[in-house]
Structure 1
Amino acid sequence: MDRSTIRIRPMALTDCERVSEIRIRGWQQAYRGLMPQAYLDGLSVSADAERRRARFTGPDGSVTNLVAEQDGTVLGWAAYGPYRDGDVLTDDAELYAVYVDPAHLGCGIGRALLTASVERCAGRPRMLLWVLRENASARRFYERAGFRFDGAEEPFEAGGVPVPEVRYVKTPVG
């Protein structure tokens, strides 16, 4: 794949179904062995797309969704916005998600989405993100991009099984 032909743009409402497909397939591949298989098998693209469409038109506007496309096909998605400290939005930025169509992993799409997200958050004191503690490949991906584990850990549960997350930070942003 020619990385120069990857285009990063704001997500449109019409992208919701494809983004949900990428997100669900991404979870099913990336979290195999880290979360219960029954939980992963039960994820629904159509249900996720319905929630995504409802949120996309929501009044808040604090979340920015980007897609990566090549030749008119969406191949990846990222979302970022203010860091959430409980119910409080802070001055820091948070990368909420980066997912790539599993058939296109390793082609630079995730890196392009991450870079665009970080660049668009320039001026914020820090950018933080949460990643499953046991997801070694994702942790390496973020570390190569200059993020560092800051020691914070948060409980997360999938299908009744604990799958803790750890926090990464990049300072300064940009």
Structure 2
Amino acid sequence: MTADYLRTALTFRLALADDAAEIARIHVEAWQAAYRSIFPSAYLDSLSIPKRQALWTQLIARGMPRVVLAQRDEVTLGWIAWGASRDHDSKTTDAEIEAIYIDPLHWRQGAGRMLMDEAINAAASEGYREMTLWALEENARGLRFYKALGFALDGVFRTERVGGCEVCETRLRVAI
């Protein structure tokens, strides 16, 4: 399938409160598929779609971050959440991708790349000049994806405790 076909076959729209359940399902299933080698299975298996749904319902109602869905024939393939950078060292012209998740059944079909394009183009139209994101250092697939889109490591790291594990995240950045 060509990228042009995928682009015309997909639609993008801002998420509504009614979308929170599907966003939560994709969030949990993508974590379980992508991070099986990073986090303990017991932790991943305990992730709760209802708890994530409650979180996303609140965030969508608040309007920040912006959440954009990629859909084909009314089926949500994935979503991206972005807004102004939350980092303490950010400039007012820095935007941040807070999360991007694709339903594992639709990985490697172009939806992720197109969601990134949507967020970057929207951020640029609002006056942002750089886009950042945080990625787990152990997430080799994700890092390859971001680097293929032009993101580069900027030398900033942070340690988080997730699922009983201490993990290191690295920040990536791209001019937009």
Question: TM-score, normalised on structure 1?
Answer: 0.92
For residues 82-121 of structure 1, the aligned pairs below 5 Å read: 82-86=84-88, 90-121=92-123
After TM superposition, the structure 1 stretch with the greater mean CA deviation from structure 2, 138-147 or 157-166, is 157-166
More helix by share: 2
Stretches of structure 2 that go unaligned for 5 or more consecutive residues are none
User: For residues 135 and 119 of structure 1, do their structure 2 counterparts lie closer, same or farther at Cα, with a shift above 3 Å needed?
Assistant: same
Q: Distance in 1 between matches of 2:163 and 2:91?
A: 28
CA displacement at 1:23 relative to structure 2 = 0.6
SS of the equivalent of 1:163 reads strand
| 87 and 52 in structure 1: CA distance in 2 versus 1, 3 angstrom threshold | farther
Once the two structures are superposed, the pairs formed by residues 131-150 of structure 1 within 5 Å of their partners are: 131-150=135-154
Distance 1:16 1:62 in 2: 14
Contact preservation (8 Å) 1:81, 1:95: yes
Name which of 14, 21, 24 aligns with 1:20: 24
Residues 1-174 of structure 1: matches in 2 within 5 Å? 2-3=5-6, 4-58=8-62, 61-86=63-88, 90-122=92-124, 123-171=127-175, 173=176
Query: How many residues are treated as equivalent by the alignment?
Result: 170
Q: Secondary structure at the match of 1:50?
A: helix
Distance of aligned partners of 1:88 and 1:136 in 2 relative to their CA distance in 1, 3 Å threshold = closer
CA, structure 1 residues 90+155, in 2 after alignment: closer, same or farther (shift >3 Å)? farther
Alpha-carbon distance in 2 for matches of 1:86, 1:44: 30
Structure 1 gaps of 5+ residues are none
Query: Cα distance, 1:88 vs. partner?
Result: 8.0
State percent identity of aligned pairs. Answer: 36
Asked if structure 2 preserves the Cα contact closer than 8 Å seen for 1:8 and 1:112, the reply is no
